[in-house]
């Protein structure tokens, strides 16, 4: 596993969660991610957006990757980003679904108002990095990074 | 696939309007419940359908898709659809999806009844 931006080898994730492909577990996953994001300094709206991106990614895997087949594995891995000038969080979500060409994973035209198809747009909109790749020999990987902005930081002083 | 239904939706008639009060997160597992409630409400042909969202602290794109679907059905039926009392988190997903101008959104229930 390498860093999405620098290609440096990655340390083991601080958090690694394996869940089954069922909508029941979405709430728990986003509560975990939201809670960790808050501990890393994101405010309520910022941590909510990170949890939303994770939720959308998981929903896409359940709906499209596994086509609603329950009991298939999904992994969420999370690293705090503590680098100088760019603290934040990195999140990698992996599955064992069929390969898709990453170039074909893109948000739809928002001018065309219709139900569905917003998940990828939301992920790319709320995260600073959202990079899809194929796992070997099977499955997809989504690498996301969100940097802590000054305006998003939880106020530490009273 | 069995779906959990830990969302409650109550309805209330106010004049010719039907007001729905969903309480709980609206995500992939719960949006079918909201869809069914809105369909039932629209089947009664109200003059207006109001979705009061103060009890919804979280909504994902499946919830938004459900509301877009309801908006399209209500337009065809000549029923006004109004959303009101959005929390900051729920409002932000409408902004991200650039839908805040597509829906009629009121600050509160009184505003929704008078829009």
Complex-level ipTM? 0.84
Tell me the shortest Cα–Cα distance from B82 to chain A, in angstroms: 17
CATH code of the domain occupying B8-114: 3.30.750.24
Cβ partners under 8 Å of residue B106, min gap 6: B82, B83, B84, B85, B112, B115
Instruction: Quick: pLDDT tens for B27-72.
Output: 999 999 999 999 999 999 999 999 999 999 999 999 999 999 999 9
> Residue ranges of the domains in chain A?
15-147
CATH-assigned architecture of domain A15-147: 2-Layer Sandwich (3.30)
Out of B25, B69, B99, name the one closest to residue A27 (CB).
B25
Contacts of B98 in chain A (CB under 8 A): 110
Q: Chains A, B: CB contacts under 8 A, how many? A: 71
How confident is the model over A79-84, as a mean pLDDT? 83
Q: Report which of A145, A138, A102, A97 is spatially closest to residue A120, judged by C-alpha positions.
A: A102
Q: Residue A154 above 60 pLDDT?
A: no
Instruction: Quick: pLDDT tens for A83-130.
Output: 766 799 999 999 999 999 999 888 777 677 777 779 999 999 999 999
């Amino acid at each position: 596993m390498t860093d999405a931006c620098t290609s440096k080898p990655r340390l083991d994730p601080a958090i690694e969660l394996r869940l089954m492909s069922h909508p029941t577990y979405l709430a728990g996953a986003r509560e975990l991610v939201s809670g960790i994001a808050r501990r890393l300094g994101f405010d309520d709206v910022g941590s909510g957006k990170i949890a939303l991106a994770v939720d959308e990614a998981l929903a896409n895997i359940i709906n499209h990757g596994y086509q609603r087949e329950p009991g298939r594995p999904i992994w969420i891995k999370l690293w705090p980003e503590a680098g100088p000038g760019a603290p934040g969080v990195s999140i990698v979500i992996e599955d064992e679904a069929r390969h898709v060409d990453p170039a074909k994973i893109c948000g739809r035209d928002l001018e065309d108002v219709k139900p569905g198809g917003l998940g990828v747009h939301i992920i790319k909109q709320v995260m600073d990095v959202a990079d899809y790749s194929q796992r070997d020999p099977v499955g997809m990987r989504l690498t996301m990074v969100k940097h802590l902005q000054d305006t998003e930081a939880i106020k530490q002083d009273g | 696939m069995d779906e959990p239904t830990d969302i409650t939706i109550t309805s209330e008639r106010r004049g010719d309007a039907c007001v729905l009060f969903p309480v709980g997160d609206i995500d992939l597992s719960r949006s079918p419940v909201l869809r069914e409630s809105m369909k039932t409400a629209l089947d009664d042909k109200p003059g207006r359908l109001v979705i009061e969202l103060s009890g919804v602290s979280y909504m994902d794109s499946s919830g938004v898709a459900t509301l877009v679907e309801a908006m399209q059905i209500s337009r065809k039926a000549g029923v006004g659809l109004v959303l009101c009392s959005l929390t900051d988190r729920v409002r932000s997903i409408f902004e991200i999806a650039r839908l805040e101008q597509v829906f009629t959104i009121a600050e509160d229930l009184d505003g929704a009844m008078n829009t």
